[in-house]
Amino acid sequence: MQNFKPYYAVIFTSTLTNDTEGYSEMGQKMVELAKKQKGFLGINSARDEVGITVSYWESLEAIKAWKQNSEHIIAQQKGHNQWYSWYNTRICKVEREYEFKI
């Protein structure tokens, strides 16, 4: 059995407004910035009518540091003021994982 260390997932679910100018570019910038953050483990994202982005972190402290990153704060404000009509953030501890792959 593989040695597994629990980690955290931040699940960000959202719907967009009609004003998405600059949204994709900021999203790419945030992914590149997050990759440089201490404790960042990875990210998955999908968007249709509802967008879901899940980022993975080593600790709650790493998540807090990311939330307080000055460039991320600007993106959060832009999202709140322009891009999102609704969003929800959940922080979960991942105790176990498994996958299937062909």
Write down the domain spans for the chain: 7-94
pTM metric for this prediction: 0.90
- For residue 10, which of 51, 50, 41, 55 has the smallest C-alpha distance? 55
Distance CA 69, CA 34 (A): 9
Q: What is the pLDDT of residues 56-86, one digit of tens each?
A: 999 999 999 999 999 999 999 999 999 999 9
Contacts for 27 with CB less than 8 Å, ≥ 6 apart:
45
Q: Tell me: pLDDT of 55 over 90.
A: yes
Q: What value does the mean pLDDT of the chain take?
A: 95
Fold of the domain built from segment(s) 7-94: Alpha-Beta Plaits (3.30.70)
> Which of 2-6, 11-15, 81-85, 88-92 is predicted with the least confidence, judged by mean pLDDT?
2-6
Distance CA 49, CA 51 (A): 7
- For residue 69, which of 23, 37, 25, 43 has the smallest C-alpha distance? 37
